[in-house]
Structure 1
Amino acid sequence: MHVEADLPGRVRAGLTAEAGEVLVVIGPNGAGKSSLMRVIAGLEPGRVVVDGRDWSDLAVPERRVGYVFQDQSLFPHLSALDNVAFGPRARGRARRDADRTAREWLERFGIGDLAERRPRELSGGQAQRVAIARALATEPDVLLLDEPFAGLDVSAQMALRIELGRHLRDFPGVALLVTHDAIDALTLADRVLVLDEGRVAQVGPPAEVAAEPRTPHVARLVGLNLVAVAEGEQLIAFPPDAVVVSLHEPEGSTRLRWHGQVASLAPHGDAVRLLVHASPDLLADLTPAAATELGLVPGREVWLSAKATAVSRYAARG
């Protein structure tokens, strides 16, 4: 399946996905992730071509798309069963057949006993299961999931992530999942697509994108520092625990070095994580004892350095 989406002035993205593939879309706020999904669904104007067929003039019901919104967007006056059965009924299925399909999907998500409850009677995790079941019940060619775990507590996120992963493995169409969480990309994606300023900045397997991020947003998501060198033609990436913090400029030619002010300090596991406004902003992990010994507080001038052998170097464009 090949998709070209063009929303003038905002999003211009081309993507190719095979049937059964899960493509996770990540990028900073304003990159165009949700706009891309809404254009494909027909909820915003824009040119969309799918497998050579122009969808631009197709009405929403004519597009075989299932859409899961951040806020579930369930019909508040309908039961869970009727919410899930709505799509099949709208596509012409008989009521009894649509209800049977809806019950099957609710059972698959382990909430068959909640079929008669209204959305206000459901927890956030239960409501999101209903929303996903509703999208899948229409047997879509394309499944769009816009931050499906947003607003859920950590335990509910973990449970739903595992459950959704199981259903996505059996889904025969193409699934696009927008997220801000690196865990989603690493656990659910077959490939990751990175949007930046409405353009595709990087696409590849999760491990590859995590190991060689090409945008600061992705680097921060996976906990790496990213610095452009050689006039922007090459990137170097390195973890915060490979950074040495000192109050004086380090000596020796084997280290890369930066100078800046401490912006913030925060606990990070057993370490203290520093954000330093250098050029660019960098993260550094050090022990609480070292942070105390150096007298680190916001505004303190520091030097950061990393051994050349501790960094990964790769081309800025793949």
Structure 2
Amino acid sequence: MTLVARLLVAGRLDVDISAEPGDVVALVGPNGAGKSTFVHALAGLQRAEGSAVLDGRDLLALAPQDRSVGVVFQDQRLFPHLSALDNVAFGLRSRGSTKASARAAARNWLDRLGVGELAGRKPAQLSGGQAQRVAIARALVTEPDLLLLDEPFTGLDVGVAATLRIELGRHLADFRGVTVLVTHDALDALTLATSVAVLDAGRIAQHGTPTDVAARPRTEHVARLVGLNVIREADRLRAFSPAAVTVSLQAPTDSTRNRWSGVVRGAAPHGDAIRLQVSGDHDLIADVTPAASRELALVPGQQVWLSVKETAVTTYDAHPSR
């Protein structure tokens, strides 16, 4: 079920993506980058030009119901008047399955996702995590060739999201179609995806394996997602860890090349450290010990200097040849 898509939405999107059976492509990027527009175009919910060839058929030439596409939205979009069972069975019923066979398949998927005992409940009687499991079951029960997941963990409790991520990963490992996952969470991309496509202003800014993208991010948004600092210098990018940053109240007196002044904009716990958000010529993040944070009075508004040894910086091309 190979997918080769080149979608254009005037003034908003110009994206070219391909994927093989079993691939999970994570779409990441800032708000307004075009992620949901791309997914909606594949689903037939957004008009687009170009083509999206899946298993030899151009999806754009087909009505939404004929595309063999399953969609999971961040707000579930379950039918409020139907039970969980009938929500999941709806897709099969609309494709001509008998009520009995559709309900049997729906019950099987609800059981597989751990919510079989909730089959008789309506959406208003479900928690966020339970409702999202029902939505995932509804998308998978029709055995689609293309599965679209539009931020499926948004709004869920951290623990619920973690459990659901594990369960979804197990199902995706057995899914033989193509999956496109929209996410704002680096953990989703690193644990669920086989490749990551970074969208910026409606275009692909970077595409590669999760490991490659995390190690050499080419946009500030992705750098923040994976917890790195990235500075552009002409056609080169320089990346370094927040843990490699030294914070001081006075300009460094040594020969350190990499030094910047700025103002602390925020400070919050991050593991065993305190992570500082510092704004200046560059917006940077730095990790310091709680003791150092107290000693230097690193509170919002404090002027600071940041420095990094050259040996802690990785430098690479901003626009590598493809």
TM over 0.5: yes
* Residue equivalent to 2:243: 241
Deviations 1:182-224 (A, max 9, x none): 1111110111111111111111111111111111111001111
- Partners in 2 of 1:291 and 1:278 — Cα distance? 19
- Partners in 1 of 2:314 and 2:41 — Cα distance? 37
Bigger mean CA deviation after superposition, 213-222 or 45-54: 45-54
* Residue equivalent to 2:20: 18
Deviations 1:30-63 (A, max 9, x none): 1111111101111011125223644334221121
- Partners in 1 of 2:273 and 2:28 — Cα distance? 28
Cα pair 1:47 1:55 within 8 Å, conserved? no
- Partners in 2 of 1:164 and 1:82 — Cα distance? 21
* Residue equivalent to 2:164: 160
Of the three residues 38, 50, 53, the one matched with 1:36 is 38
CA deviation after TM superposition for structure 1 residue 300, in Å:
2.3
- Partners in 2 of 1:213 and 1:92 — Cα distance? 47
Give the AA of the match of 1:73. Answer: R
Of the three residues 278, 281, 284, the one matched with 1:282 is 284
Deviations 1:2-22 (A, max 9, x none): 111111111111101001111
Matched, 1:146 2:156: no
CA deviation after TM superposition for structure 1 residue 115, in Å:
1.4
Q: What TM-score results when the alignment is normalised by the length of structure 1?
A: 0.96
1:90–1:48 Cα change, 3 Å:
farther
Give the AA of the match of 1:157. Answer: A
* Residue equivalent to 1:96: 100
* Residue equivalent to 2:208: 204
Cα pair 2:256 2:307 within 8 Å, conserved? no
* Residue equivalent to 2:8: 6
RMSD (Å), alpha carbons? 1.4
3-state secondary structure, aligned to 1:98: helix
Give the AA of the match of 2:270. Answer: H
Cα pair 1:72 1:128 within 8 Å, conserved? yes
* Residue equivalent to 2:225: 221
CA deviation after TM superposition for structure 1 residue 288, in Å:
2.2
CA deviation after TM superposition for structure 1 residue 155, in Å:
1.3
* Residue equivalent to 2:179: 175
CA deviation after TM superposition for structure 1 residue 293, in Å:
2.5
- Partners in 1 of 2:297 and 2:164 — Cα distance? 43
Cα pair 2:52 2:60 within 8 Å, conserved? no
Cα pair 2:197 2:204 within 8 Å, conserved? yes
CA deviation after TM superposition for structure 1 residue 274, in Å:
1.4
CA deviation after TM superposition for structure 1 residue 97, in Å:
1.8
CA deviation after TM superposition for structure 1 residue 110, in Å:
1.8
CA deviation after TM superposition for structure 1 residue 103, in Å:
1.4
* Residue equivalent to 1:81: 85
* Residue equivalent to 2:194: 190
3-state secondary structure, aligned to 2:191: helix
Aligned residues: 316
Q: What TM-score results when the alignment is normalised by the length of structure 2?
A: 0.94
- Partners in 2 of 1:266 and 1:117 — Cα distance? 40
Give the AA of the match of 1:166. Answer: R
CA deviation after TM superposition for structure 1 residue 122, in Å:
1.4
CA deviation after TM superposition for structure 1 residue 299, in Å:
2.2
- Partners in 2 of 1:48 and 1:174 — Cα distance? 19
Cα pair 1:70 1:148 within 8 Å, conserved? yes
3-state secondary structure, aligned to 2:300: coil
Cα pair 2:42 2:52 within 8 Å, conserved? no
Cα pair 1:40 1:48 within 8 Å, conserved? no
Cα pair 2:83 2:123 within 8 Å, conserved? yes
Matched, 1:121 2:129: no
Unaligned stretches of 5+ in structure 2? none
Q: Percent identity?
A: 60
Deviations 1:139-186 (A, max 9, x none): 111100011111111111111111000000111100011111111111
Deviations 1:79-104 (A, max 9, x none): 11111111011112222221221111
CA deviation after TM superposition for structure 1 residue 292, in Å:
2.6
Deviations 1:95-142 (A, max 9, x none): 222122111111111222221111112111111111001011111111
- Partners in 1 of 2:255 and 2:58 — Cα distance? 57
Of the three residues 124, 137, 141, the one matched with 1:137 is 141
- Partners in 2 of 1:62 and 1:48 — Cα distance? 18
CA deviation after TM superposition for structure 1 residue 26, in Å:
0.8
